[in-house]
A = this chain, B = another copy of it.
Amino acid sequence: MAHFPCAKEIDAKEVLKEKGLKSTPQRLAVLHVLHESTKYLSINNILDKTKEILPNTGLATIYRTLDVLADIGLISRVHFEDGCHTYAYSSDSHGHHIVCTKCNKIMDFAECPFEDYMENLSKRTGFKINNHFLQLFGECNECAGNAN
């Protein structure tokens, strides 16, 4: 088993425990793989790299583990244009959406709060920012107003 250079990887055991989840080699290995990588990894990339640590790891375990780790906040879900299962109408070509997680209502809004921020972030990261994806989740006034 690889050693874990990062505080967060060590913490992982704590976090899992807090949530009543077991700290398995598979979970720690997947976390390690993601932490080591500076690049986008497909599910199969993650499987392959995890197998370098634990050769018997199965694909289903990768799916389950990614879900668990994302749910407890140790990793993040990343959106790619082609890993996207749904679409919505946009009244503006630079439209962002806000989605009600109770009734699935979607509302789009045109303004974008980013211009200044982009400049700043661009300088600090060295990235030339071309595009962004922003989406908000919440409860619409109907769902929030009524008890459920």
Contacts and interface: CB of A to CB of B under 8 A. Distances in A.
Interface of A: 8, 31, 34-35, 37-43, 46, 66, 69-70, 73-91, 93, 95-101, 103-109, 113-114, 117-118, 121-122, 125-141, 144
28 contacts: A34-B88, A38-B105, A40-B86, A41-B86, A42-B86, A70-B87, A73-B90, A73-B93, A75-B87, A75-B90, A76-B88, A76-B96, A77-B86, A78-B135, A79-B79, A109-B121, A109-B125, A121-B136, A126-B141, A127-B136, A127-B144, A128-B138, A132-B134, A132-B135, A133-B135, A133-B136, A134-B134, A134-B135
Contacts of A126: 140-141, 144
A107 B87 contact: no
A114 B46 CA distance: 32
Given A78-B106, A129-B137, 7 more contacts: A40-B106, A76-B90, A83-B84, A121-B136, A122-B138, A133-B135, A133-B137
A73 B140 CA distance: 26
Contact of A77 (B69, B84, B104, B113): B84
B77 A81 contact: yes
A29 to B, nearest CB: 13
A26 to B, nearest CB: 15
A105 B41 CA distance: 10
A85 to B, nearest CB: 3
